[in-house]
Amino acid sequence: MSFPISRPRRLRKTHALREMVAETVLSVNDLMYPIFVVHGKGIKREISAMPDQYHWSIDMLDELISSIVDKDIKSIMIFGVPSIKDDVASENYDENGIVQQAIKKVKLLAPDLVVATDICLCGYTPHGHCGILDCNEYVDNDDTLVILQKTAVSHAIAGADIVAPSSMTDGMVLAMRQALDIAKFETVSIMSYSVKYASAFYGPFRDACNSSPKGDRKAYQMDYRNKKEAILEAMLDVEEGADFIMVKPALSYLDIINELSHKINLPIVAYHVSGEYSMIKIAAKNGLINEKDITLEVLTSMKRAGAKIILTYSALNVAQWLR
């Protein structure tokens, strides 16, 4: 018999060897944690579709923020559940809106925590679409831009470090950049949800935000059959002045993350979305899989594909496991 010439197994022999040659390392610095804030007092209420994730009222944020800071997580993304929904999504840019209140509270509690805010209209309008509807119930692109601009400036005034437009409105990055610069917020960054697919993986989040649309979002979110279009979307956002490029969802779109990581010289953000999270949680709770092992495998695959930052509901657990 002939012996193998090359034996890749040699470098897998011991734990120490495996650590030495590991090509991809997940770090707590890569994690961004999404949080949901609601009006009211004394609320820490589990979101039924997302085990271990909660709605928090502002007065309860101390507990949450200290657990984030204690775990050395560097950033959060704030999602607001407004008290009023109207056709112009007015709570979005209300200086006393739920997100504005949350930003101020978080900045008081943890001035160094990087605060990003999701900016969209779907949770703030009665129809649940990500923009202003025209008389034909079609999302009017340019009317929507005006709301995004007002909201970005209002979040910046409250103290946000990063604004993250997620409405898939054409020109949203440029519009926000201009509005922020005119208002002298040239150091506030834009994390664009550049490549956001019309996905069935957002179901649990829409429960959490009560933002299910009438119909679907296919007239503005991307078709999952398309990859070239993802590159176009990301390139446009680069030209418009984005600081981070996000791909969403993550796990079924690792090819997109990988392609963009080669083509674009900005940090790529992978959004490990609610459906991806809840599938793991619920399977783990039923004893089918090991939550820790599978979560680390999944998140590491996103980094291996080329993401630098991972927006994930598992961030608190992952930070603990990485210690």
53 binds ligand PBG (CB under 6 A): no
Q: Measured between alpha carbons, how far is 203 from 212 in angstroms, rounded to an integer?
A: 8
Q: Which of 122, 175, 190, 251 binds ligand PBG (CB under 6 A)?
A: 122
Catalytic-residue membership of 150? no
Q: Measured between alpha carbons, how far is 26 from 309 in angstroms, rounded to an integer?
A: 10
- Peptide bond connecting 249 to the previous residue in cis, omega within 30 degrees of 0: yes
Catalytic-residue membership of 196? yes
202 binds ligand PBG (CB under 6 A): yes
Q: Measured between alpha carbons, how far is 296 from 318 in angstroms, rounded to an integer?
A: 7
Please identify which residue in the block is written with the tokens 């504005």: 100
Q: Which of residues 274-313 bind ligand PBG (CB under 6 A)?
A: 274
For residue 86, the SS3 value is coil
For residue 215, the SS3 value is coil
127 binds ligand PBG (CB under 6 A): no
The shares of helix, strand and coil residues in the chain, as percent rounded to the nearest 5, are 45, 20, 35
Q: Which of residues 130-189 bind ligand PBG (CB under 6 A)?
A: 130, 166
205 binds ligand PBG (CB under 6 A): yes
Q: Measured between alpha carbons, how far is 277 from 282 in angstroms, rounded to an integer?
A: 9
Judged by beta carbon, residue 185 or residue 202, the one nearer ligand PBG is 202
Q: Which of 30, 91, 94, 118 binds ligand PBG (CB under 6 A)?
A: 118
Q: Which of 71, 105, 196, 303 is catalytic?
A: 196
The amino acid that residue 158 corresponds to is A
- Candidate segments 108-116, 137-145, 148-156, 198-206, binder of ligand PBG by CB under 6 A: 198-206
Binding site for ligand PBG (CB under 6 A): 118, 120, 122, 130, 166, 202, 205-206, 273-274
- Provide the annotated active-site residues: 196, 248
